[in-house]
Chains A and B, each alone.
Chain A
Amino acid sequence: MKILVLNCGSSSVKFQLLETDAESARAGTDRALAKGLVENIGGTAALKFEVPGRKPVKETAEILEHTVAVEKVLGFLTDAGNGLLRDRREIAAVGHRVVHGGERFKASALITDDVLQGIEACFDMAPLHNPPNVRGYQAVRAVLPDVPQVAVFDTSFHQTMPAEAYLYGLPYVLYQRHGIRRYGFHGTSHRFVSARLASLLGRSPDDAGLRLITCHLGNGSSVAAIRGGRSLDTSMGFTPLEGLVMGTRSGDVDPAAVLHAMEREEIGVGQANAMLNKHGGLLGISGVSHDMRALLEAEGQGNARAGLAVDVFCYRLRKYVAAYIGVLGGVDGLAFAGGIGENSAAIRARALAGLEGLGLSVDASLNAAARGSETEISPPGAATRVFVVPTNEELLIARDTCAIVSGTPSSSGVTQQSKPASGE
């Protein structure tokens, strides 16, 4: 079954076309047929299309809205020269990454009017993400009106968190009236990576005693504590702002500091929100960049603020990892995923430095060699095994979408795999 997976941002559309079904998902042989992205929608957009084993196609075009971007993607997929699809009707279903599903969506869902309203009800909680996700859905509906579409939520996996982990120390009425609690994000990634990590440890992902910590470190970053395949806690909260220091997001901050800043700087809610989400984090501390590669380079050239930003990032991560060892009562395996987690040996080493007493360490040469593929980086015989595990949210979204439209949703949605699915 051919599934188109879309991840729509405010001015971008990332896509993958995947071939999957229940059997190939079980065997881990399902794969991406093509992928690409359209950036800077609303102006002169940059398009990049890739088919495995071929030279990427790059072009620019005036693309003013998501519908046109989706048309472009379909045009590429059905281009005879690419040999991917003879007809756009070969697309059996479209799966969307949707950031916030609130308490309502504990699993992926076929998008109906009712589900759409549920997603829109979460706009306030994920103002940067949910609206463009919906725009992507609408764009597909305009172009492929008869194709079923499925929403796969970043929050669903963490719906297993117990109340003691998801409640804030706030008046309980705020939870009752406005749903103010911790939800957690990157659920699709944590679900995928933890299942792979279990498999690498030779255990079943739902092995009740298996204690895992997964670190998804990208432009947005989060850590999750997972026992028996169920998320017990994660660092992001009511919105994707809480927890680790991120590219432009502050992560944990004393709320009173924000209120104080609002008063002193005479700024309103909108500006404070932008300050925390777009002007904070690595960019805010360093004043240099939101990009970890650029910061490490600047640090190497003697930029102290860049180095400070990296230190704050690593320290915060170390604190969360240690806390989650406490939550889990020990840890059997830890995985690094996401752009930073998969590619930056320096960050992996700096983040875990000092946790040797808790059984966590990396082997310098194994760590340095690991880049973008499933690799063990802890020293041989370590108490807790540490891996780099490339995440593959698109594959999991495609599997969920396929399962839902073929009417055979798997109970947990976590599929077993016998070998790496990301192709590296």
Chain B
Amino acid sequence: MGKGIATACAGAGFDVLVVDRSAAIAVYAVEKISKELDRDIAKWRHTTSEKKAILGRLRAVDGPGALEPADLVIEALSDDLALKVQTFAELDRVCSPDTILATNSSTLSVTEIAAHTKRPDRVIGLHFLNPGPRVPLVEIARGLETSDLTVTAAREFVHQLGKTGVELFESPGYVTTRVIVPFLNEAMYVLMEGVATADAVDTALKLGYGLPVGPLALADRLGLDELLRWMQHLFQELGDLKYRPCPLLRQKIRAGHVGVKSGRGFFEYDENGQVKTAEAA
């Protein structure tokens, strides 16, 4: 997700510093972005000179210490509260006091993350969806202490990215995750109960409701492990049974079939993430 956000920002003309768990991983991330841009060129999304310009604005740096000059930091770690809290505390120390700190999480609490910094008024949720450069939406989530000034700056930033910002108050899952997760979960129950095959479930929903992608294929793209984390969090936070993860989801994850990134989830995928064959579930 971080790569997608970095590409979207660089594509809109922002200078971007890329930080990862280590300097080497950050460099590798930029290399992956370069490869992704080559795929974009083959699909006429970018030209070679646009690719050059985007890469020219991306710089892999050693660690959070290098983020001091940033006006905005967008954190896109996996949804692990302890990790995020620790990271924000560090960002709070190293970044300029004016820097806005944003989290890309849609499930964890902006307010809780902000509470571990000395600048809760300048902490905000900026939720990008995959693939970051192409999804034209960003959810702008206000925590309890987020200031109007910070929201205005975030709104302007999202506008400059050429995306549409939807403003909302912090709540588990915001709008997108909260609504999509039970939908995907229900599709898994339908599959588990043997009502229809994976292919049939996706075809029915795609064609029936004009969706660009079926729920099981979407779950595979999002990553089943990530999806389970979101569901557990929603279930825990909201306490409603409708967020109870489908047992089939857990089973898939235990087998290592976590979706497109592992080559297999509800469907099988080739190296380019294209569906190979519909799995008889």
Interface set of A (CB-CB < 8 Å, partner B): 11, 42-43, 64, 248, 265, 267, 270-272, 274-275, 278-279
Q: What are some 22 contacts across the A-B interface (CB < 8 A)?
A: A11-B53, A42-B13, A42-B53, A42-B57, A43-B53, A43-B56, A64-B13, A248-B47, A265-B43, A270-B45, A271-B43, A271-B44, A271-B45, A272-B44, A274-B44, A274-B46, A274-B47, A275-B44, A278-B44, A278-B47, A279-B44, A279-B47
Ranked 4 nearest A-B pairs via Cβ = A275-B44, A279-B44, A274-B44, A271-B44
- Name the CB-closest residue of A to B46: A274
Measured in the bound complex, the distance between the Cα atoms of B13 and A11 in whole Å is 11
Chain B at the A interface: SS class: loop
Beyond A43-B57, A271-B43: 5 further Cβ-contacts under 8 Å? A64-B13, A267-B43, A270-B45, A271-B45, A279-B44
A-B CB pair tally, cutoff 8 Å: 26
Measured in the bound complex, the distance between the Cα atoms of B78 and A388 in whole Å is 64
- Name the CB-closest residue of B to A271: B44
- Name the CB-closest residue of B to A265: B43
Measured in the bound complex, the distance between the Cα atoms of B235 and A207 in whole Å is 82
Interfacial residues of chain B within 43-59, with CB under 8 A of chain A in the complex: 43-47, 53, 56-57
Measured in the bound complex, the distance between the Cα atoms of B44 and A278 in whole Å is 8
Which residues of A have CB within 8 Å of B57? 42-43
Which residues of B have CB within 8 Å of A274? 44-47
- Name the CB-closest residue of B to A273: B44
- Name the CB-closest residue of A to B15: A64
Measured in the bound complex, the distance between the Cα atoms of B46 and A274 in whole Å is 8
- Name the CB-closest residue of B to A284: B44
Which residues of A have CB within 8 Å of B45? 270-271, 274
Which residues of A have CB within 8 Å of B13? 42, 64
Which residues of B have CB within 8 Å of A279? 44, 47
Q: What's the nearest-Cβ distance from chain B to residue A290, in Å?
A: 10
Q: What's the nearest-Cβ distance from chain B to residue A353, in Å?
A: 33
Q: What's the nearest-Cβ distance from chain B to residue A247, in Å?
A: 12
- Name the CB-closest residue of B to A272: B44
- Name the CB-closest residue of B to A40: B53
Which residues of A have CB within 8 Å of B56? 43
Measured in the bound complex, the distance between the Cα atoms of B56 and A7 in whole Å is 25
Measured in the bound complex, the distance between the Cα atoms of B45 and A270 in whole Å is 8
Which residues of B have CB within 8 Å of A43? 53, 56-57
